[in-house]
Structure 1
Amino acid sequence: MSGSSVGGVSIPGWRILVVLLCFGVVLALPFVFREPRIVDETDARRVIIISPHNEQIRYEFGYGFERWHELKYGEPARVVWSTPGGTSEIRKMLQSDWKAALKQGQQPGGNADLVFGGGSYEHGQFKRGVKLTLEDRDQEQVSAWVRRLGANSVPSLDDPSKIVSLTIGDVQVELTPQGNSTSLWSITADSSISIPAGIPTDHLKKTYGRTQVAGTPLWDEDQYWLGTALSAFGIIFNNDLLRELEVPQPVSWDALCSPKLRQEVALVNPAQSGSVTTAFETILKRRDWTPGWWILRRAAANARYFSASSLRAPTDVAQGDAAMGVSIDFFGRFESQSLRDHGAGDRVGYIDPPGETMLDPDPISLLMNPPDPEMARRFIEFTLEPAGQSLWQFPPGESADGLGPRQYSLRRLPVSADLYQSHLNRFVDQIDPFVNAEPPPFNDRNMRSFISTVFQACAMDTIVELEAAWNAIVTHPAYPEDDEGIVTAADVSDPQLKQMLELFDDIPDIPGPDGQQWSLSTKEGRATIKAGWLKRGWADAGLWDSEANPARALRRFLSEQFIGNYRQIVRMSQVNDEKQPS
């Protein structure tokens, strides 16, 4: 024989066999020693949830619900997450899906059970739903559409003076004859996107312990949405960068206005994020319209970018790509905590500007025609019970009572009154937001309607001109040195700088019918402009092209005015430079 053997296997072959065996053991170890999954996905009932929440929240609520469901109901459950974007993007997606279904005569929904997360405004829009009108349908087309939608019978369409009203499933339908005959009809379909959760009111009152916080409802009175946590809004900041820039830590929204922060502020497009729109709304409702826009415009002039996601700003500040950013409280606290846990110390901080933030419920909504309504309602039940509420504020790790997150410290504020009364000492942030919470002093709901339009017009559409104008102002010889706050025209005596600041902060009046002008700076003006422009009340006044979207037309009008002001500021600066002695 050419070599020795072991058990009939040659020594080299035996060695290879041992290596392969060891390799197989290594591969198997994770499967042998890992914690058994609670859910056997082949047998588990699913709940499909659309959410803007980050990965950590999805993990804790997915794992927590599956574990809780197994213990309470004795059967496996599985959470399937869908994450198409922020809440505004989710709303637009669902509105588009609902309209497409109604256009085809189909009942909307059926693809997901719940929307979990986002602000109360966006969930209010889910309740409001969509309205679609189909014109010029003959009787046969109307009858076919009604049948496809699920009607048991087709109404008579023989009376040209009669509007036929129907409820088919959860869709409200009106059939209106066009003209004085019954040959052509219009179909109007009205459908909410969410539906009532159907939880006994007494149970909700016991769970929440109150109906509102600082004037803001904690749940919709018809249960189209239910708050699961509370959000506040503030500033995330990078201490290393602030030291380099010689900028103090923020104590108020004014900090975003420092000229030293040019290209250092992380902002988000409010048109793509409902939570950031609420953050901007907070500034306006706390400071009032004009002072609020002083802050928002200077912050925009300092912006490094305008992101499409509210997640990016805190991430970039944490990574040192920006010095400050507007952030939802839990994103800011999470980034700060995460870096501290990894040995980064106080590199990143977060502040809710004292007395200048607002609390907004972070809701859950049951969607129309959910695939599994029972599982959907069980998930809602879980989010409001201690098992779900404790995930927001308890530290991660095992606990004797099984409450709290498994791996991540989420650092959000729960809504359950009982949790604050019995477990506040276990909170990571030992804060009771219901103590001393006060409504904002300038609580005009119409402010929100204009935030996206005005911000895009004064900042995003005009960013080159805005930055040039801002640079011209802060480098003007008369601009106060080392002023970290807001400098307005009223704060300076130099006539040229005063005029430059007046132009910079100007928001033009909006044209109305018959040559009237309306100001966005007043409550009455905002209500009138909203009704006339955004609600198309002045559609026949010739203020915009009949085929145009009035909100976009208003944005273009404002953009042109802002660009003119910014360019005039730059020209004034250039004239001033020419006058300076060489």
Structure 2
Amino acid sequence: MIRKILTAALPLLVLLAIPFFLRPKQEAGAKSSGPADKLVIISAHNESIRHEYEQAFRKFYREKTGREIELDFRSPGGSSDIVKYIADRFEAEFRREFESDPANGEWNDEIAGRFAEPGVENDPDAPAEVKKARRLFLNSNVGIGIDLMAGGGTFDMQRHAKRGFAVDGGAQKRHPEYFKPEIIPQSFGGDELYDKQGRYYGVVLSTFGICYNKDRVAELKDPTPPKRWADLGEPRFFNTISLADPSKSGSANKCFEVLIQQCMADSGSPEKGWEEGLNTIKRIFGNARNLTDSAGKIPRDVAAGNAAAGMAIDTYGFTEKEWNELQFDGKPHFFYVAPEGGTAVSADPVQMLRGAPHREAAELFIDFLLSPEGQKLHAFKVGAPGGPEKHALRRPPIRRDLYKPEYRKYRSDPDYNPYESGASFVYRPELTGPYYSLLRILIRCIALDPQPELQRAWKAIIDAGGPEKVPQAMAAFNRLPFPYSEIAAENAKLHGSAVEVAALCRKWSDSARENYLEAERLALEGK
């Protein structure tokens, strides 16, 4: 009877045992008892990067601490959405802290609007209650339940640092050897690669270029592949360009800023370069076939043939090209090129947020990203010693020593060195850096909000024979809300009340729309 019962129960016992036999083996030295430590990261990084980060850092963390770690990635949208989320959360949490002590007085709109304003504590015209709130915030450990922000560009992280949302991650103190000029320089090509006070650290380098689909370009009247930013604004590319919304994608906005800076460098005049750059951007938007909320989607659209060309970050361009080569047996239809005339090199950083709830783990994660192990993860091929597990990230490392000849055979892109490719173009932060947010808003107002009118005007100009055939129409199309000489004054207006800012944006959009309607009418009249 017992034998019959055991025989009948055997299949069930086998099924119950399968999960235990199939579970991964515990690595030597790992401790399985107790709950895992936690690290919360807000980031717009894609799934491939998040996967490789988690797998490699868990091993690194286990070796350093003997404990397990769980990475909790939060992704409320693109980098612009993340920046807004962080600001909103800090306002809510600081208000909670402020109102918990009656001695602080009553919370009001002015405190809400200015507690994170850089330098307000030293402004002689600022109310005493605002200065007090600012000092209270900077001396607090108010947090938003998030340890780190990863990715998004130096502009937003510089702004977080100035506002007090970011704090010193301490890597310079723990690893001064990393920050020698021959390893990680403090600045390159006019852009800071890490904050001297440790409030953000560049992890990888990024450059911006052009991606195109060979088959779609071959269908054009002129099948020459695009080589310069201005090529994307040529009439032959009408209704074939894929773009990202700069008001949602910080990477897209940076790309447009680089385009304007290159026009300034080529023309030798910031005033003329500002005009040429913005009008090039308008023509590119006139050629837009589709708009996305993320710069990472553009290469996929182009590779799929949904667009002929677009702007791309190097890592997305190289990754898509590799995938395209696999699909087409080594004969890709998708290509990524650095624009002629050079492109700016910028850092993609990580920063620790104020009140990080898991400080030790956050510090170790920063150390990991800047270490040789973390840098190899970004640059090496799958399967190479120290390389990624499943996905080649193809992200150029910030560390110069990873470009040494001995690592060449391991790197996914052995011939690519941003420290060399970006040397022909020097980014001048004083020209456009202070107006980065203005640029995002301005492009939305003159190219996105009135895009139907913009595209109709641009098509009418093309149908009339091109800009040279209808100079009056083109002059109307090229009008701008203000010249570069007035940019500081216009930027100051964006720091007014919400009602004032909305009125300014409406003024810019309405004037652009009127210009496009006039340009369309003149083009139809052959003028």
User: Is the shorter-chain TM-score for this pair beyond 0.5, marking a shared fold?
Assistant: yes
Could you tell me which residue of structure 1 aligns to residue 295 of structure 2? Answer: 310
Could you tell me which residue of structure 2 aligns to residue 285 of structure 1? Answer: 261
Q: What is the CA deviation profile of residues 372-421 of structure 1, one whole-angstrom value per residue up to 9, with x for unaligned ones?
A: 1011000000000011001111101152xxx1111111111101122223
Q: Secondary structure at the match of 2:171?
A: coil
Contact 1:50 1:81 (8 Å CA) reproduced: yes
Is it true that 1:128 corresponds to 2:167 in the alignment? no
Q: Secondary structure at the match of 1:104?
A: helix
- Distance verdict in 2 for CA 1:82–1:205, change over 3 Å: same
Q: What is the CA deviation profile of residues 167-209 of structure 1, one whole-angstrom value per residue up to 9, with x for unaligned ones?
A: xxxxxxxxxxxxxxxxxxxxxxxxx111111233533423834
Is it true that 1:534 corresponds to 2:515 in the alignment? no
- Distance verdict in 2 for CA 1:500–1:36, change over 3 Å: farther
Structure 1 residue 343, shift from structure 2 partner: 3.5
- Could you state the TM-score of these two structures normalised by the residue count of structure 1? 0.74
Structure 1 residue 442, shift from structure 2 partner: 8.3
Contact 1:252 1:356 (8 Å CA) reproduced: no
Q: Which amino acid aligns with 1:124?
A: Q
- Distance verdict in 2 for CA 1:443–1:236, change over 3 Å: farther
Structure 1 residue 438, shift from structure 2 partner: 4.0
Could you tell me which residue of structure 2 aligns to residue 329 of structure 1? Answer: 314
- Distance verdict in 2 for CA 1:504–1:42, change over 3 Å: farther
Q: Which amino acid aligns with 2:166?
A: S
Could you tell me which residue of structure 2 aligns to residue 405 of structure 1? Answer: 388
Number of paired residues? 464
Could you tell me which residue of structure 2 aligns to residue 239 of structure 1? Answer: 214
> Of 28, 37, 43, which aligns to 1:45?
37
Matches of residues 553-564 of structure 1 in structure 2 within 5 Å? 553-564=503-514
More strand by share: 1
Identify which range, 57-66 or 312-321, moves more after superposition.
Answer: 312-321
> Of 346, 350, 355, which aligns to 1:369?
355
> Of 379, 383, 393, which aligns to 2:379?
393
**Structure 1 segments unaligned to the other structure (5+ residues):** 1-6, 130-191, 480-486, 510-518, 537-546, 578-582
Could you tell me which residue of structure 2 aligns to residue 459 of structure 1? Answer: 447
Could you tell me which residue of structure 1 aligns to residue 239 of structure 2? Answer: 263
> Of 202, 219, 224, which aligns to 1:248?
224
Could you tell me which residue of structure 2 aligns to residue 500 of structure 1? Answer: 473
Q: Give the distance between the partners of 1:321 and 1:55, measured in 2 at CA.
A: 23
Identify which range, 312-321 or 407-416, moves more after superposition.
Answer: 312-321
Contact 1:39 1:77 (8 Å CA) reproduced: no
Q: Secondary structure at the match of 1:231?
A: strand
More helix by share: 2
Structure 1 residue 451, shift from structure 2 partner: 1.4
Contact 1:39 1:66 (8 Å CA) reproduced: no
- Distance verdict in 2 for CA 1:398–1:416, change over 3 Å: closer
Structure 1 residue 453, shift from structure 2 partner: 2.2
Matches of residues 435-474 of structure 1 in structure 2 within 5 Å? 435=420, 436=423, 438-440=425-427, 444=431, 445-474=433-462
Q: Give the distance between the partners of 1:100 and 1:264, measured in 2 at CA.
A: 44
Could you tell me which residue of structure 2 aligns to residue 358 of structure 1? Answer: 344
- Could you state the TM-score of these two structures normalised by the residue count of structure 2? 0.81
Structure 1 residue 17, shift from structure 2 partner: 9.1
> Of 327, 351, 369, which aligns to 1:342?
327
Could you tell me which residue of structure 2 aligns to residue 214 of structure 1? Answer: 189
Q: Give the distance between the partners of 1:499 and 1:460, measured in 2 at CA.
A: 23
Contact 1:283 1:356 (8 Å CA) reproduced: no
Q: Which amino acid aligns with 2:453?
A: E
Could you tell me which residue of structure 2 aligns to residue 566 of structure 1? Answer: 516
Matches of residues 111-190 of structure 1 in structure 2 within 5 Å? 111-129=145-163
- Distance verdict in 2 for CA 1:380–1:284, change over 3 Å: same
Q: Secondary structure at the match of 1:370?
A: coil
Q: Give the distance between the partners of 2:454 and 2:31, measured in 1 at CA.
A: 54
Contact 1:235 1:352 (8 Å CA) reproduced: yes
Q: Which amino acid aligns with 2:22?
A: V
Structure 1 residue 23, shift from structure 2 partner: 9.7
Structure 1 residue 350, shift from structure 2 partner: 1.0
- Distance verdict in 2 for CA 1:117–1:31, change over 3 Å: farther
Q: Give the distance between the partners of 1:96 and 1:325, measured in 2 at CA.
A: 33
Contact 1:453 1:551 (8 Å CA) reproduced: no
Could you tell me which residue of structure 1 aligns to residue 177 of structure 2? Answer: 203
- Distance verdict in 2 for CA 1:465–1:242, change over 3 Å: same
Structure 1 residue 271, shift from structure 2 partner: 1.1
Structure 1 residue 253, shift from structure 2 partner: 0.7
> Of 176, 181, 193, which aligns to 2:165?
193
Q: What is the CA deviation profile of residues 60-88 of structure 1, one whole-angstrom value per residue up to 9, with x for unaligned ones?
A: 11111111122233222222211111221
Contact 2:258 2:344 (8 Å CA) reproduced: yes
Could you tell me which residue of structure 2 aligns to residue 320 of structure 1? Answer: 305
Structure 1 residue 39, shift from structure 2 partner: 8.3
Contact 2:203 2:370 (8 Å CA) reproduced: yes
Could you tell me which residue of structure 2 aligns to residue 109 of structure 1? Answer: 143
Q: Which amino acid aligns with 2:168?
A: P
Q: Give the distance between the partners of 2:190 and 2:526, measured in 1 at CA.
A: 50
Identify which range, 419-428 or 295-304, moves more after superposition.
Answer: 419-428
Structure 1 residue 110, shift from structure 2 partner: 4.5
> Of 348, 365, 369, which aligns to 1:383?
369
Q: What is the CA deviation profile of residues 537-557 of structure 1, one whole-angstrom value per residue up to 9, with x for unaligned ones?
A: xxxxxxxxxx64433322211
Structure 1 residue 502, shift from structure 2 partner: 0.8
Is it true that 1:92 corresponds to 2:68 in the alignment? no
Q: Which amino acid aligns with 2:340?
A: P
Q: Give the distance between the partners of 2:167 and 2:439, measured in 1 at CA.
A: 28
- Distance verdict in 2 for CA 1:470–1:407, change over 3 Å: same
Q: Give the distance between the partners of 2:430 and 2:354, measured in 1 at CA.
A: 32
Q: Give the distance between the partners of 2:246 and 2:343, measured in 1 at CA.
A: 17
Q: Give the distance between the partners of 1:410 and 1:369, measured in 2 at CA.
A: 30
Rg larger in structure: 1
Q: Which amino acid aligns with 1:375?
A: A
Contact 1:500 1:569 (8 Å CA) reproduced: yes
Q: Secondary structure at the match of 2:219?
A: helix
Could you tell me which residue of structure 2 aligns to residue 148 of structure 1? Answer: none
Could you tell me which residue of structure 1 aligns to residue 251 of structure 2? Answer: 275
- Distance verdict in 2 for CA 1:356–1:297, change over 3 Å: farther
Contact 2:54 2:71 (8 Å CA) reproduced: yes
Structure 1 residue 367, shift from structure 2 partner: 1.0
Q: Give the distance between the partners of 1:499 and 1:77, measured in 2 at CA.
A: 64
Contact 1:285 1:442 (8 Å CA) reproduced: no
Q: Give the distance between the partners of 1:35 and 1:327, measured in 2 at CA.
A: 41
- Distance verdict in 2 for CA 1:30–1:576, change over 3 Å: farther
- Distance verdict in 2 for CA 1:304–1:73, change over 3 Å: same
Structure 1 residue 24, shift from structure 2 partner: 4.1
**Structure 2 segments unaligned to the other structure (5+ residues):** 99-140, 264-272
Q: What is the CA deviation profile of residues 487-525 of structure 1, one whole-angstrom value per residue up to 9, with x for unaligned ones?
A: 5xxxx3x4xx0111111111033xxxxxxxxx2x33xx2
Q: Give the distance between the partners of 2:88 and 2:96, measured in 1 at CA.
A: 13
Identify which range, 444-453 or 365-374, moves more after superposition.
Answer: 444-453
